[in-house]
């Protein structure tokens, strides 16, 4: 019984009933003008539904009254973009008008029937309402007086559910709108993945450098080396904080463009950070690095950063050879270092996976793994 009456406690039941009653306001005004032709407002709805803005207004109203608590209502609030959307809006207006008439009739007839049956139970004669004008006063009618109210309750719930389903069908997003929403969702996911990689590369590099520097300084026992190590830790930490602040700014304000991200022109900072950690870095940069397109240069910087981070994290302060070559059509990055013991298998960590993902997003290739007695990271990115 409680479950049966639960819709009476939901505000959606009454907002949907209100939504069904709204078209009857215009109908009521027209009946004062010409009660002999009640169908005229239905004709007016045809050209009205062809206006693009009407679809937006109906969508906003439907979402507010039919699905007020639903995060995903399935109802569009965009104006009509083509004739199919306009015709669907016309069909929706006509259907809403018909359902409004049905709701109005059931509501009035049910309430009047309940009053008439109660009056007959108290000995009053019927007032002449069709279907009820032949009733004779009798106390037994008191048992049937709640029946019209139950019919009204079922009609309110059923018609509310029906008009909501029709709204999702006729005012729902078109194929173009669904495609646009899917593309927007995809862009958001790509942006989240990019931010996650940014944080992984930047913060991971800073923490790795700090750990290696601190361990080396403690083992060296040399005050001068300790000072240099602390300076390197401070510089790396400041750079990581700047990157973190930039990423958090993007998360706080989605419409604000991200500030300039580091590019291969800033690669010296990475090389000096690795050298300060005790690694011997042999770097060779050839070609017009400054002319590399922004997206390729920024991703190349992150790939180089992740490669050096992996060297320091897994191999320690070992000799590293870095080659950056820019040709007419591609950027080639090579990072080689001596293999630690034991020799690792093919790389499957999140850092190496991030290198491959970055290269794939730009249409390039990435190879990571042991080669001879060294660990090799080789990435090729197209410039065009």
119-135: per-residue pLDDT in tens?
888 877 767 666 666 77
CB 52 within 8 A of CB 79: yes
pLDDT reported for residue 61: 92
207 vs 368, which has greater pLDDT?
368
Q: Tell me what the mean pLDDT of segment 258-277 comes to.
A: 76
185-201: per-residue pLDDT in tens?
766 666 676 677 667 76
Quick one: how far is CA 163 from the chain centroid?
A: 27
325-356: per-residue pLDDT in tens?
998 889 999 999 987 665 444 444 555 777 88
59 vs 202, which has greater pLDDT?
59
Instruction: Put the strands of the sheet holding 374-382 in their side by side order.
Output: 281-286, 320-326, 330-338, 374-382, 365-371
Q: Which two tokens stand for residue 339?
A: 């293999």
Q: What is the C-alpha separation between 290 and 263, in angstroms, rounded?
A: 9
Local structure of 285: helix, strand or coil = strand
Looking at the DSSP assignment, which residues form a beta bridge with residue 381?
Answer: 331
Locus of tokens 């990475």: 270
Q: Tell me what the mean pLDDT of segment 296-307 comes to.
A: 86
73, pLDDT greater than 70? yes
Best CA proximity match to 172, nearest among 77, 267, 237: 77
Locus of tokens 């007016």: 44
87-114 burial string, b = 16+ CB within 10 Å, else e?
A: ebbbbbbbbbbebbbebbebbebbeebb
pLDDT reported for residue 293: 86
Q: Tell me what the mean pLDDT of segment 364-373 comes to.
A: 86
pLDDT reported for residue 332: 93
Q: Tell me what the mean pLDDT of segment 55-78 comes to.
A: 88
pLDDT reported for residue 204: 72
Q: Tell me what the mean pLDDT of segment 224-251 comes to.
A: 73
pLDDT reported for residue 198: 67
Q: Which two tokens stand for residue 293?
A: 């397109």
pLDDT reported for residue 91: 94
Q: Which two tokens stand for residue 353?
A: 């996976």
The most confident of the ranges 136-140, 171-175, 317-321, 375-379 is 375-379
- The pair phi, psi for residue 288, each rounded to 5°, is -75, 85
């Amino acid at each position: 019984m409680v479950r049966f009456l639960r819709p009476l406690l939901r505000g959606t039941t009454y907002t949907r009933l209100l939504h069904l009653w709204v078209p009857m306001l215009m109908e009521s005004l027209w009946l004062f003008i010409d009660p002999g032709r009640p169908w005229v407002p239905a004709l007016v709805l045809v050209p009205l539904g062809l206006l693009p803005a009407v679809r937006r207004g109906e969508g906003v109203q439907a979402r507010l009254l039919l699905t007020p608590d639903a995060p995903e209502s399935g109802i569009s609030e965009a104006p009509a973009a083509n004739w199919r959307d306009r015709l669907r809006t016309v069909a929706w207006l006509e259907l809403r008008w018909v359902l409004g008439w049905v709701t109005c009739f059931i509501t009035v007839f049910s309430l009047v029937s309940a009053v008439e049956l109660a009056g007959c139970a108290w000995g009053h004669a019927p007032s002449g309402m069709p279907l009820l004008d032949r009733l004779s006063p009798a106390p037994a009618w008191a048992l049937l007086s709640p029946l019209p109210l139950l019919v009204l309750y079922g009609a309110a719930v059923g018609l509310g559910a029906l008009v909501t389903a029709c709204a999702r069908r006729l005012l729902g997003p078109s194929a173009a709108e669904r495609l646009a929403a899917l593309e927007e969702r995809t862009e958001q996911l790509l942006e989240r993945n990019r931010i996650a990689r940014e944080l992984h590369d930047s913060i991971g590099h800073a923490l790795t450098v700090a750990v290696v520097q601190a361990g080396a300084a403690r083992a060296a026992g040399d005050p001068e080396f300790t000072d240099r190590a602390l300076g390197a830790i401070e510089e790396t930490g400041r750079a990581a904080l700047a990157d973190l602040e930039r990423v958090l700014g993007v998360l706080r304000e989605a419409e604000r463009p991200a500030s300039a991200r580091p590019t291969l022109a800033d690669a010296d900072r990475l090389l000096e950070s690795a050298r300060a950690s005790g690694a011997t870095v042999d770097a060779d940069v050839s070609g017009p690095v400054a002319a590399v397109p922004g997206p390729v240069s920024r991703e190349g910087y992150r790939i180089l950063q992740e490669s050096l981070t992996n060297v320091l994290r897994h191999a320690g302060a070992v000799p590293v050879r870095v080659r950056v070559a820019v040709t007419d059509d591609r950027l080639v990055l090579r990072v080689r270092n001596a293999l630690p013991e034991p020799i690792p298998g093919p790389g499957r960590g999140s850092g190496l996976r991030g290198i491959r993902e970055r290269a794939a997003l730009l249409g390039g290739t990435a190879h990571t793994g042991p080669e001879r007695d060294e660990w090799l990271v080789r990435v090729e990115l197209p410039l065009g």
